[in-house]
């Protein structure tokens, strides 16, 4: 099992699509309309199901505002630079409700914002350990951060993927060079 999507009801679909794509860097994955039941769906995310969880933005035609109630908590998104992300949120219609800073009693930098509809979003800043092992969260490597059903909690950035590919190619090249030298040494020894 995996989490596929979370649905948020929005009052202005285009405003929400713009916020999640232009401000938070998600992609508009697909849209659909249901004329019979009068709603439009837009799925946004950092990648498609089943590898990435998505946000389903639901616009019920003619409804421009919802009561939030007190049951909804927040969604969490990792960010490379929380300070810049919070400035982008402010500049594009969102509100910063907790300024970036360390979590109480810890060193992980977090912030809370609301999107244009008032949904709470927690940003958790990612730290690179410098040892080529990717990012860490509270000192735990991203490789160890998996949910019980295999859902990765932190997804590598494009830069991390490219770095891993380069390191892999370099390692393969070195192994092949070492194997050729070893084989050459054996040939000389047997001659």
Q: How far apart are CA 66 and CA 61, in angstroms?
A: 13
DSSP-based three-state secondary structure for 41? strand
Which strand (E) or helix (H) includes residue 38?
A: none
Contact 1, 30 (CB under 8 A): no
Q: What is the number of other CB atoms lying within 10 angstroms of the CB of residue 126?
A: 21
Distance CA(19)–CA(116), nearest Å, equals: 8
What span, in angstroms and rounded, lies between the C-alpha atoms of 149 and 162? 26
Peptide bond into 151 cis (omega under 30): no
The answer to whether residues 55 and 45 touch, using CB atoms and an 8 Å cutoff, is yes
Q: Which of 99, 122, 125, 160 is catalytic?
A: 122
Active site residue 122: yes
Query: In sequence order, what are the residues at sequence separation of 6 or more whose Cβ sits closer than 8 angstroms to the Cβ of residue 32?
Result: 40, 41
56 appears as a binding residue in the annotation: yes
Are 20 and 13 in contact by the 8 Å Cβ rule? The answer is: no
Which residues are known to be catalytic? 122
- For the annotated binding site for Zn(2+), the residues are 56, 74, 122
- For the annotated binding site, the residues are 56, 74, 122
């Amino acid at each position: 099992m995996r989490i596929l999507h979370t649905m948020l009801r929005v009052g202005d679909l285009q405003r929400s699509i713009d916020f999640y794509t232009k401000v938070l860097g998600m992609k508009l994955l697909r849209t659909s309309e249901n004329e019979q039941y009068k709603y439009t769906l837009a799925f946004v995310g950092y990648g498609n199901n089943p590898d990435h969880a998505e946000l389903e933005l639901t616009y019920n035609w003619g409804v421009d505002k919802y009561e939030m109630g007190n049951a909804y908590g927040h969604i969490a998104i990792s960010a490379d630079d929380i300070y810049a992300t919070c400035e982008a949120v402010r500049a594009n219609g969102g509100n910063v409700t907790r300024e970036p800073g360390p979590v109480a009693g810890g060193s992980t930098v977090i912030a809370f914002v609301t999107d244009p509809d008032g949904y709470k979003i927690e940003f958790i800043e990612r730290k690179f350990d410098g040892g080529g092992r990717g990012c860490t969260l509270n000192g735990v490597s991203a490789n160890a951060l998996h949910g019980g059903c295999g859902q990765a909690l932190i997804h590598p950035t494009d830069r991390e993927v490219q770095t891993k590919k380069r390191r892999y190619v370099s390692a393969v090249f070195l192994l092949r060079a070492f194997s050729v030298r070893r084989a050459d040494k054996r040939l000389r020894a047997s001659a």
